[in-house]
A and B are shown apart, each in its own frame.
Chain A
Amino acid sequence: MNVREELMEILEELHPEVDFESEDALVSGKVLDSFDIVNLVTELDDAFDIEITAADLLPENFDTVDGMVELIMNRMEDI
């Protein structure tokens, strides 16, 4: 399973009713709220063995699936 597929699995578990691929304002458009972001980051840290920190928790990194994939890839490179 690649990063995108694994991420989609986590997102669908979090919000089965949201069509994540078509959304481009997940945080700015309030689809994901602060509870979700905290839960999501915990899941991402565990699933990809990465460390997402405060500086990463910005709307632009979580507004789209593409943004999240890029963030995960960048953090994986750091390790």
Chain B
Amino acid sequence: MTNNVLDCLEQTAARLPDKTAFSDGSVSLTFLELKKASDSIGTALIQKGYKKEPVLIYMEKSPQQIAAFFGVIRSGCFYVPIDDEMPASRIDLIIKNCHPRVMICDESTREKAKKLSFSGETIGYGDATETTADAELLKEVHDKTIDTDPIYIVFTSGSTGVPKGVIANHRSVMDYIGQLSEVLGFGEDTVFGNQSPLYFDACLKEVYPTIRFGATTYLIPKELFSQPKNLVEYLNEKKINTICWVVSALTMISAFKTFDIVRPEYLRTIAFGSEVFPIKQYRLWRQALPDASFTNLYGPTEATGMSCYFKCDREIEEGEAIPIGRPFENTEVLLIKEDGSEAGPGEEGEIYLRGTCVTMGYYNDAERTAGAFVQNPLQSAYPETVYRTGDMARYNDHGELVFLSRRDHQIKHMGHRIELGEIEADVSSVEEIKICACTYDRDRDKIVLHFVGDIDKKALIEKLKELLPRYMLPGKVINLDEMPFTANGKIDRKKLEEMR
């Protein structure tokens, strides 16, 4: 089978055994070490009787965490990565959704894992990698694997307060990587500087091309993303030439005039997405790196990472948002108007995506899967599932797709996709809260929480820290005497925005 991610790892490990695959500065794994670690972990899981089921990976961000991903895939199971800084209550929701029987943890999470509502088996990463690989057993599982078998579940924000687990298979990941490489041009000489956490799909852009093309990925220490000068020096020291970052990370470098002190000497491929790139900051980057390629990427987790791209090879006008361009070759964008018909040039419509990029749906959640993974609205002659994104867009005069807004209250904040409804659901669970609503202050990049209730802001934030991941915590909290309502009895969000 050619679309199996493990075949890539196998071939690259044979071709470049001693080359560094992943490094975080303190630990590096070569391709051979990565393969050996994944063979051992895979064997351990198979011998313990786990097959075709979710395996939690609760580890600190590290090359070993990536080895655990491949170990799980090796066993024929699929990995569920957990953020090691995520509050226990949120991890418990994930556990409740996917009922894992087994979890892999490391020294940094072993104690924290005991506090979770998890009753299955916990395997230490160190113990698993000491297992002697059983080639016969691994081959048996490999031979039974087909490219539509799942490899991971990644959880995204859900508006009801319960995260949704998007499940993806070998084929959609391999297709995605192939398409992405067509656009960005990956190869053996590619040196990635990874910014995104490993528990969400943004990291696919580095993890899988690394094993497919024999590239190298440096997992950049998180703290450098608040020290722009040191960050650029790190890029130079590691000779990083390719980055796929959220816009806020790029903006941090340019906004603080880092280029006046130091420039990234080796960067030649810069991809960004998830947020609007402020034109002023984009131009500073272009001036600093006139020979580099800049690509805007767009796509939801439900369509395996990214689905559309725009190569920034024309002048972007003042006040113009950088387009999301056009879909990858394995994807078609259907732009559907409210009446169900296709939007014409210049007309606004909702993006539906069709193609192998469309993932398998939400794990253990038939209802929400049915709401978003729907029959192609443009034909009813045969069954064909497309993904309804909730993103509104239109084609500009250049024939490029431009993102306009969301259909609901979903936002993108610091590169993370967040349903404001999920924050509201968690805030409402605090006893003292009578009513609450969240708005998003785009200018200041802040989630604003408006609430009515007898609790001081300090105590409220303390409670929310136990419920929400760091990136979902409100940046501003406003205590109201009463909530404004519209004539229809809905919370008046416009009025709330005026109050900020």
Contact = CB atoms under 8 A, between A and B. Distances in A.
B375 to A, nearest CB: 40
Interface stretch (A1-9, A33-41, A67-75): A33-41
Interface stretch (B66-74, B248-256, B359-367): B248-256
B485 interface: no
B257 A53 contact: yes
Contacts of B459: 17
B248 A38 contact: yes
A51 to B, nearest CB: 8
Contacts of A37: 226
Interface in A21-49: 27, 30, 32-39, 41-42
A76 interface: no
A55 B456 CA distance: 37
B227 A57 contact: yes
Given A15-B461, A53-B260, A35 B253 contact: no
B260 A59 contact: no
Interface of B is mostly: helix
A42 B446 CA distance: 12
Interface stretch (B44-52, B265-273, B468-476): B468-476
Contacts, number: 66
A79 interface: no
A77 B248 CA distance: 29
Bin the interface of chain A by size: 20 to 34
Nearest to B257: A53
B227 A17 contact: no
A13 B476 contact: yes
Contacts of B222: 33-34
B286 interface: no
Interface string B222-260: 110111111000000000000000001000110011101
Given A53-B257, A53-B260, A54-B256, A16 B461 contact: yes
Nearest to A41: B256
B248 A57 contact: no
A36 B476 CA distance: 12
Nearest to A58: B227
A32 B222 CA distance: 12
B457 interface: yes
B225 A54 contact: no
Contact of B226 (A17, A33, A42, A55): A33
A24 B226 CA distance: 18
Nearest to A30: B223
Contacts of B465: 17
B257 A27 contact: no
A56 B258 CA distance: 10
A54 B258 contact: yes
Given A17-B462, A54-B261, A39 B226 contact: no
A38 B465 CA distance: 20
Contacts of A58: 227, 229-230
A42 B444 contact: yes
Query: In the complex, which of the residues A13, A39, A54, A55 has the most CB atoms of chain B within 10 Å of its own CB atom?
Result: A54
A57 B459 CA distance: 30
Contacts of B490: none
A17 B229 contact: no
Contacts of A15: 461
Query: In the complex, which of the residues B226, B228, B256, B445 has the most CB atoms of chain A within 10 Å of its own CB atom?
Result: B226
Contact of B252 (A16, A36, A38, A52): A38
B93 interface: no
B457 A16 contact: yes
B477 interface: yes
B133 interface: no
Given A13-B476, A16-B458, A55-B261, A35 B256 contact: no
Nearest to A56: B256
B203 interface: no
Given A16-B457, A33-B226, A39 B446 contact: yes
Nearest to A52: B256
Nearest to A42: B444
B414 interface: yes
B350 to A, nearest CB: 30
A26 B382 CA distance: 59
B180 to A, nearest CB: 26
26 contacts: A15-B461, A17-B458, A17-B461, A17-B462, A17-B465, A27-B226, A33-B222, A33-B226, A34-B223, A35-B471, A38-B252, A39-B444, A39-B446, A42-B444, A53-B256, A53-B260, A54-B253, A54-B256, A54-B257, A54-B258, A54-B261, A55-B229, A57-B226, A57-B228, A57-B256, A58-B227
Given A34-B226, A42-B444, A59-B227, 19 more contacts: A15-B461, A17-B459, A17-B465, A27-B223, A33-B226, A34-B252, A37-B226, A38-B248, A39-B475, A41-B256, A52-B256, A53-B256, A53-B260, A54-B228, A54-B257, A55-B229, A56-B256, A57-B228, A58-B229
Interface of B: 222-223, 225-230, 248, 252-253, 256-258, 260-261, 414, 444-446, 456-459, 461-462, 465, 470-471, 475-477
